[in-house]
């Protein structure tokens, strides 16, 4: 069974700082990996989707990388803003385990003005 | 393009009652998945439906059930509610092809008293 871990569980940074969130998974046989953002009490907003054949994806100030062989992904946020404060979740879709995504427990990010 | 719509947004029920939650996926998405999110357990997979058939099921008791209609709309039902069923219930839809990721709805907040 795929297990997904996110470290750190919480992170607090001053506005303008660049930061990296980490996601690790135990089984490298994946279709893809998706990063989400969740604001308190709300649903999940998709940020980036990386296919298993890709090394990275970029959207604005966000860059996600994937190293399938080592079971790791990182989400890089440049020039952080208070509006980036949220919980960030990564989800992995295994290649051989049905049609289910496995989620990490998330990193709670606070950007201090 | 309309997103994933979940109704109702909030529900308060009494122990022992039953509840039905609804999810309308993005037009063209035939795969619909349900997740339960609680502070202690994070996001846990309930089930996934495709073309009116349940394709995958998580580790939840039989009190949790679902169905999908011919227009891809899905409902989930929880019978004999328990206090521990209080959670945010999230629905996600996607194209049923290997490379596509999830789009989530805003969720239904269920409180059991």
Q: Please report the DSSP string for A27-78 in residue order.
A: ---EEEEEEEEE-TTS-EEEEEEEETT-SEEEETTEEEEEETTTTEEEEEE-
Q: Is A34 at the interface with chain B, CB within 8 A?
A: yes
Give the model's confidence band at A8: pLDDT under 50 very low, under 70 low, under 90 confident, else very high: very high
Q: A106–B58: do the CB atoms touch at under 8 Å?
A: no
Q: What per-residue confidence (pLDDT) applies to B99? A: 74
Inter-chain contact B56–A98, Cβ cutoff 8 Å? Answer: yes
CB B6 within 8 A of CB B91: yes
Q: Please indicate if any CB of chain B lies within 8 Å of the CB of A94.
A: no
Give the mean model confidence (pLDDT) for residues B57-75.
96
Convert the pLDDT of each residue in A40-63 to its tens digit. Answer: 988 999 999 999 999 999 999 999
Name the average pLDDT for chain A: 95
Q: What is the pLDDT of residue B83?
A: 97
Flag if B45 and A101 touch (Cβ within 8 Å): yes
What pLDDT does B1 receive?
64
Residue B70 to residues B2, B10, B49, Cα–Cα distance (Å): 19, 26, 11
Distance CA B33, CA A76 (A): 28
Contact state of A31 with B99 under an 8 Å Cβ cutoff: yes
How does pLDDT run across A25-41, given as a tens digit for each residue? 999 999 999 999 999 98
pLDDT score, position B98: 64
Residues of chain A contacting B107 with CB distance shorter than 8 Å = 42-43
Q: Mean pLDDT over residues B64-69, rounded? A: 97
pLDDT of residue A111: 98
Report, as an integer, the average pLDDT of B77-84.
Answer: 97
Q: Residues 2..31 of B with a Cβ closer than 8 Å to A: which?
A: 4, 6, 31
Residue B28 has pLDDT above 70, yes or no: yes
Using 50, 70 and 90 to split pLDDT, how confident is the model at A100?
confident
What is the chain A residue with the closest CA to B109? A41
Res. B72: pLDDT tops 70: yes
pLDDT for position B85:
98
pLDDT at B97 over 80: no
CA nearest to A43 within chain B: B106
- A44 in contact with B, Cβ within 8 Å: yes
Question: Given the DSSP bridges, would you call strands A4-7 and A19-25 parallel, antiparallel or unpaired?
Answer: antiparallel
For residues A99-108, average pLDDT: 92
Q: Over 70: is that where the pLDDT of B21 sits?
A: yes
CA distance B16 to chain A (A): 25
* Residue in the structure block whose two tokens are 């003005």: A113
Identity of the residue in B42, B88, B103 whose CB atom sits nearest the CB atom of A46: B103
Cα(A76)–Cα(A63) distance, rounded to whole angstroms? 5
């Amino acid at each position: 069974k795929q297990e997904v871990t996110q470290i750190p569980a919480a992170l607090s940074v001053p506005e303008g700082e660049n930061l990296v969130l980490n996601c690790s998974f135990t089984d490298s046989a994946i279709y893809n990996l998706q990063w989400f953002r969740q604001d308190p009490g709300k649903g999940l907003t998709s940020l980036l989707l990386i296919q298993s054949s890709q090394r990275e994806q970029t959207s604005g100030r966000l860059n996600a990388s994937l190293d399938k062989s080592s079971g790791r992904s990182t989400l890089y946020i440049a020039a952080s803003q208070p509006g980036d404060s949220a919980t960030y979740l990564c989800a992995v879709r295994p290649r051989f385990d049905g049609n289910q995504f496995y989620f990490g427990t998330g990193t709670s990010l606070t950007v201090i003005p | 393009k309309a997103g994933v719509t979940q109704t109702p947004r909030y529900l308060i029920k009494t122990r022992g009652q039953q509840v039905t939650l609804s999810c309308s996926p993005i037009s063209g998405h035939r795969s619909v998945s349900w997740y339960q999110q609680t502070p202690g357990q994070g996001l846990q997979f309930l089930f996934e439906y495709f073309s009116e058939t349940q394709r995958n099921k998580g580790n939840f008791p039989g009190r949790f059930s679902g169905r999908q209609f011919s227009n891809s709309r899905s409902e989930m039902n929880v019978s004999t509610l328990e206090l521990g069923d209080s959670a945010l219930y999230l629905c996600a839809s996607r194209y049923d092809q290997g490379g596509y990721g999830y789009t989530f709805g805003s969720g239904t907040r269920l409180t059991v008293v």
